[in-house]
Structure 1
Amino acid sequence: MSRTTRKLLLPGTIIALIVATVLLAPVLPLQDVRGMDIPHRFAPPSTEHWLGQDDFGRDVLARLIWGGRASLFIAVGSALIAAAIGTTLGLLGGYFRGVVELLTVRASEIILCLPPLLLALLVVAILGAGTWPLIIALTILYTPNYARVVYAATQQVRGLDFVTAQRAMGTHPLRILVRTILPNVLPPLLVQMSLVVASAMVIESGLSFLGLGVVPPTPSWGLMIRSARGAMEVAPLLLVWPSLALAGTILTFNLLCDRLQSVLDPRSFTAGGALWLRPRQKQKAKKPVKALETDAPLLEIRDLSIAAHNLELVRRVGLTVRPGETVALVGESGSGKTLTGLAMTGLLADTLRITGGSAVYRSRSGEPIDLTGLDEDGFRALRGEDISMVFQDAAAALNPVLRIGEQVGEAIRAHHHIDDAALKTRVIDLLRHVGIPDPETRASAYPHELSGGQRQRAMIAVAVANNPRLLIADEPTTALDPTIQAQILQLFARLKEETPEMGMIFVTHDLAVVAEIADRVTVMYAGEVVEEGPVAEVFAAPKHPYTQALIASVPEGGSERLVAIPGAVPSPRAMPTGCRFAPRCSYALPNCIDHAPQAAEPTSDRLTRCFRWEDVS
């Protein structure tokens, strides 16, 4: 038993005893909870009545236990119902945003404008006093609190790489909400639960104290405090017992939920994860569609532009990928490489949009599909099956609460109906195929239990699980040491040999990687394509000053002396009016500063965006 788990023993044992006591009240050897003994009213504790007798001679211990039954039922019941409703509203609003957010989270927040006690009084006044009206009142009161907490947590989690990776697999949004986002928002949800239970017990006691809660003769701690208040001078202990029970239960419950937050936090939980969320269905296998032989480009991007609000980030990008070809997308950070890749999978952030151009992808059936015109459902049908993506940081892209085998299996189940036995075999074969040692054991491991290289291999296994026709690799070797980088590049080379029809876009800033893996290279700068062509020709004779400067700035470039590129990539808010590279270019002329160069073709398979490309050596 871990140190964190041992912290649950004390509060968990106390809560278990309290719950067991109130649940077993009907079978415990207690005095009649309604039996009155007027001659012995206010009697002190005795062997027959351990906590004494109240103002009607009733046994205090029996009423305390039965009162806890009512108070806990109302508080926990309303907290659970409010949690179910509020969590649903928060998840939907936080994930889908827009109109869904307005109809769920924002609509529920109207309730927060009303004072809590007055709202509860209003509901009780309309429905009448009693247990269920009180539960309804407290549910209405606390639902917005859950919705806001879950909404905020969902907003934080939905932008993380492992959620984006789930979308890239083509996983259905509701499955992402239940399997990926919900386990990651559980810790703050538990904290909110403890606060709600505590608050609900206080409000229930307050309303019962006012005579608007639990209806006598049913006992509750609030009613006991109310009746004891008038006899404080005669029998002060009558006020002590229900007050201690109320305060002690609230404090213990808060402590338990606080400890549970640490134990169930997905980032530290290593002994089971969110494995209670594991639906399994056996369905008939889907017949595979045979790929159509064609000489047409697999993906043809023309004049693609991407903007955030009115700020243009990517302008007039053109890119062609043919079956079996690897195209390297190269440039400094901020050049638009990753945005271009994300646009091909429909994974751009909500604030970004495609403002122009086309990206025609040819499906397995030979049908041309313009990716810029697809909605989320259209992308979901392609992600993971036809187009897949390997993300830069595997540690962030893999879901921390699911085992590796489950995540690879999810990618397969998103597009194929397969039984459990066949799925397990397929997952282990995939892990073995990408070079993970002891795949049977590693399939049951969590991402944090793997090394960096093994996590990246697992990420690749997820990406190629359905044999995609187009693979987009977003700097998959950046965070790895040179030895592991070489192994990952060898893995990509082997995958390319084994699936000769698969096209690949390899996003990187490492020219040595480009020389090793790519057939063609596309160089981007400040959101534009400035040069493209076969790798060997571009490296041997670059036709753009930026490409020349990139080659001269790396050891593998062959220059006698390394030369740093002066200046920095311009901000999207302050782009030069002419050539975007002109402020940093040694070849720049006044014409370059005032006018943007058009694309020129030095040869039939080369392209450059420079006025002086003939002078670049």
Structure 2
Amino acid sequence: MSRSTRKLLLPGGIVLALVTVLLLAPLLPLHDVRAMDIPNRFAGPSAAHWLGQDEFGRDVLARLIWGGRASLFIAVGSALAAATIGTLLGLLGGYFRGVVEVLTVRAAEVLLCLPPLLLALLVVTILGAGTWPLILALTLLYTPNYARVAYAATLQVRGLDYVTAQRAMGAPPLTILGRTILPNVLPPLLVQMSLVVASAMVIESGLSFLGLGVVPPTPSWGLMIRAARGAMEQAPMLLVWPSLALAGTILTFNLLCDRLQTALDPREVTKGGALWMRRPGRRKTAAARRPGAADDNGPLVEIRNLAISVGRTPQIDLVRRAMLTVMPGETVALVGESGSGKTLTSLALLGLLPDQLRVSAGEMRYRTRDGAVLDLAQLDEEAFRALRGPEVSMVFQDAAAALNPVHRVGDQLAEALRAGGLTGERAVQARVVELLRHVGIPDPERRRRAYPHELSGGQRQRAMIALAVANSPRLLVADEPTTALDPTIQAQILDLFRKLKTDTPDMGLIFVTHDLAVVSELADRVVVMYAGEVVETGPVAEVFARPKHPYTAALIASVPEGAADQLRAIPGSVPPPHDMPPGCRFAPRCDHALPQCTSRVPETSHPEASRSSRCIRWKEVC
């Protein structure tokens, strides 16, 4: 038993005992809470009445237990109802944004303009005092709080790579919300639950104290405090018992939820899993695809004049006139400085652009296994979902962010396999072990039960690669998969990619990187991007030996080589998208720039049949 789990024993035991006693109240040998014994009013504790008798001679212990039953039922019932409604509103608003956000989160926040107690009084005044009107009032009161917490947590999680990876696997939005985002936003919701239960019990007691809550003769702790206030001099203990019960219950619930948050943190869970992490039952999946023979003579991917934009008035092009071709079995490297558009271009191929961006022009032609040619620029999310996994897949840069921290590595692989059509639990688990072994993770039978944080950086990246190739895609996009790794692990990951290429010779690979040494080791052709434009393409050996664009030459010159005394840095920096220079975008940093370079946009030239350069002076670049 872990330390965090042991910490749950005390508050969990107290809450369990309290709830058990309250639930079993009808079966316990308690006095009738309505039975009066006027001659013995204010009597002290005795063998028959352990906590004494109140102002009407009623048994205090019996009223305390039945009163707790009413108070806790109202508080927990309203907290759960508010949690369900508010969390749903927050998840939908935070994930879909736009109009959905206005209709969910922003609409719920209107209730926050009203003072809490006045809102509760308004509902109770309209519907009358009683248990159910009070639950409704408290539900309306606390729903916006849950909505805001869930909304804020969803905004933090929705942009992380492991959520994007779920979309890449083709998971529908509701599945992503329920299985991926909800478990990750649950800990702050638990804290909110403890606060709401505590606050609801206080408000219920306050309203009952004012005579607007629980209706007599049903007992509640608020009613008991109200009655005891007039008899403080005669029987002060009548005020102590319900006050102690109220304060103790609130503190215990706060302590339980605080420790429950720690226990359910995926970084604290190393065995057994949290409640939502347990393996789901088997489910039926669609039959595996049986693709026909593809035309190997045509390109696998062909991008023509691609433009990726943000905004509409004005429209800012983050990528423009991008050209890229990948043949079956070919490895193409996308290189360039940060902000050159490499990652955006690769994300567009999988339909994973951020919500604010869109493909505004151009074509992205992809040839499927059965030979059909699709324009990826025209596909909607549902069509992309059918392609991701079995046709196109992606290895993300940060495996720690791409792998879901609340699910075991093997479970995430199994989910991808089921989404790809593999059926039968035994076959799925065997394939999981096979994939982990194939990418070089030692002891795959044991490692498949590990959480991402229990793996080293290199092992996480291998698991990410296994997830990407689980359904044998025809096109694999790798977004700087070696950037955050040390040189030794980088070399191992590159060896793994070479092995994957050998094992799947027909798979096309787009390798996004800024490391030219990696390009020279792995790629067949290179595509150089600058400020959102493709400036040069060609076979790696030819481009590195004889670059035909000043930017490519500057990149090569900035790489440390041999016994060079100093590096040649490229002056200046990549211009921001909203302030691009006229004409050639590299002209302000170029040693070969002429006045005409800033007066018109250079056209693409073809120095050789297999090469291209977007420079008017390509003949003079060495």
Q: Which residue of 1 aligns with 2:302?
A: 300
- CA distance in structure 1 between the aligned counterparts of 2:438 and 2:252, rounded to whole angstroms: 51
> Which range is displaced more, 487-496 or 285-294?
285-294
Q: Which residue of 1 aligns with 2:287?
A: 285
What does residue range 2-41 of structure 1 map to in structure 2 within 5 Å? Answer: 2-41=2-41
Q: Which residue of 2 aligns with 1:192?
A: 192
Is this contact kept in 1: 2:285–2:421, CA < 8 A?
Answer: no
Q: Of residues 351, 361, 364 in structure 2, which corresponds to 1:356?
A: 361
Cα deviation code 1:425-481 (max 9, x no counterpart): 111111111111111111111111111111111101110111111110001111112
Q: Which residue of 2 aligns with 1:314?
A: 319
Give the letter aligned to residue 108 of structure 2.
S
Give the letter aligned to residue 16 of structure 2.
A
- Structure 2 spans left out of the alignment, 5+ residues: none
Cα deviation code 1:264-302 (max 9, x no counterpart): 123433331432473431456334223423422111111
Is this contact kept in 2: 1:553–1:564, CA < 8 A?
Answer: yes
Q: Which stretches of structure 1, 4 residues or more, deviate above 6 A after TM superposition?
A: 557-560
Residue 506 of structure 1 deviates from its aligned partner by: 0.4
Give the letter aligned to residue 270 of structure 1.
T
What does residue range 217-236 of structure 1 map to in structure 2 within 5 Å? Answer: 217-236=217-236
Residue 120 of structure 1 deviates from its aligned partner by: 2.2
**Residue 477 in 1 paired to residue 477 in 2?**
no
Is this contact kept in 1: 2:286–2:421, CA < 8 A?
Answer: no
Give the letter aligned to residue 11 of structure 2.
P
Is this contact kept in 2: 1:179–1:277, CA < 8 A?
Answer: no
Give the letter aligned to residue 292 of structure 2.
K
Is this contact kept in 2: 1:172–1:414, CA < 8 A?
Answer: no
Q: Of residues 507, 515, 523 in structure 2, which corresponds to 1:510?
A: 515
Is this contact kept in 2: 1:34–1:58, CA < 8 A?
Answer: yes
Query: Structure 1 residues 37, 250: closer, same or farther in 2, change over 3 A?
Result: same
Q: Which residue of 1 aligns with 2:456?
A: 451
Give the letter aligned to residue 545 of structure 1.
P
Residue 535 of structure 1 deviates from its aligned partner by: 0.8
Is this contact kept in 1: 2:289–2:421, CA < 8 A?
Answer: no
> Which range is displaced more, 109-118 or 61-70?
109-118
- CA distance in structure 2 between the aligned counterparts of 1:303 and 1:444, rounded to whole angstroms: 45
Query: Structure 1 residues 560, 40: closer, same or farther in 2, change over 3 A?
Result: closer
- CA distance in structure 2 between the aligned counterparts of 1:572 and 1:293, rounded to whole angstroms: 39
Residue 27 of structure 1 deviates from its aligned partner by: 2.5
- CA distance in structure 2 between the aligned counterparts of 1:294 and 1:169, rounded to whole angstroms: 25
Give the letter aligned to residue 395 of structure 2.
V
Give the letter aligned to residue 615 of structure 1.
E
Q: Which residue of 1 aligns with 2:179?
A: 179
Q: What is the SS of the residue equivalent to 1:316?
A: strand
- CA distance in structure 2 between the aligned counterparts of 1:213 and 1:298, rounded to whole angstroms: 70
Q: % of aligned pairs identical?
A: 73
What does residue range 322-337 of structure 1 map to in structure 2 within 5 Å? Answer: 322-337=327-342
> Which range is displaced more, 232-241 or 553-562?
553-562
What does residue range 339-488 of structure 1 map to in structure 2 within 5 Å? Answer: 339-488=344-493
Give the letter aligned to residue 63 of structure 1.
R
Residue 559 of structure 1 deviates from its aligned partner by: 7.2
Give the letter aligned to residue 248 of structure 2.
G
Q: TM-score normalised to the size of structure 1?
A: 0.97
Q: TM-score normalised to the size of structure 2?
A: 0.96
Q: Of residues 597, 602, 607 in structure 1, which corresponds to 2:607?
A: 602
- CA distance in structure 1 between the aligned counterparts of 2:188 and 2:560, rounded to whole angstroms: 49
Is this contact kept in 2: 1:266–1:400, CA < 8 A?
Answer: yes
Residue 505 of structure 1 deviates from its aligned partner by: 0.6
Query: Structure 1 residues 561, 229: closer, same or farther in 2, change over 3 A?
Result: closer
Is this contact kept in 1: 2:292–2:371, CA < 8 A?
Answer: no
> Which range is displaced more, 288-297 or 475-484?
288-297
Residue 118 of structure 1 deviates from its aligned partner by: 2.5
Cα deviation code 1:534-585 (max 9, x no counterpart): 1111111100111111111113599786322222222223221122112221
Q: Which residue of 2 aligns with 1:212?
A: 212
Q: Which residue of 2 aligns with 1:258?
A: 258
Q: Which residue of 1 aligns with 2:248?
A: 248
Q: Which residue of 2 aligns with 1:237?
A: 237
Give the letter aligned to residue 323 of structure 2.
G
Give the letter aligned to residue 481 of structure 2.
P
Residue 127 of structure 1 deviates from its aligned partner by: 3.0
> Which range is displaced more, 552-561 or 451-460?
552-561
- CA distance in structure 1 between the aligned counterparts of 2:373 and 2:103, rounded to whole angstroms: 37
> May I ask how many residue pairs the two structures share in their alignment?
617
Is this contact kept in 2: 1:301–1:360, CA < 8 A?
Answer: yes
- Structure 1 spans left out of the alignment, 5+ residues: none
> Which range is displaced more, 27-36 or 320-329?
27-36
Cα deviation code 1:205-256 (max 9, x no counterpart): 1222222222221111011112112222322221121111111111111121
> Which range is displaced more, 507-516 or 41-50?
41-50
Cα deviation code 1:44-71 (max 9, x no counterpart): 2233322211111001111101110111
Cα deviation code 1:7-42 (max 9, x no counterpart): 323222222222122122222232222211001111
> Which range is displaced more, 572-581 or 285-294?
285-294
Q: What is the SS of the residue equivalent to 1:555?
A: coil
Query: Structure 1 residues 90, 291: closer, same or farther in 2, change over 3 A?
Result: farther
Q: What is the SS of the residue equivalent to 1:487?
A: helix
- CA distance in structure 1 between the aligned counterparts of 2:40 and 2:505, rounded to whole angstroms: 94
Q: Which residue of 2 aligns with 1:540?
A: 545
- CA distance in structure 1 between the aligned counterparts of 2:304 and 2:289, rounded to whole angstroms: 34
Q: What is the SS of the residue equivalent to 2:73?
A: helix
CA RMSD of aligned residues (A): 1.8
Q: Which residue of 2 aligns with 1:275?
A: 277
Give the letter aligned to residue 112 of structure 2.
L
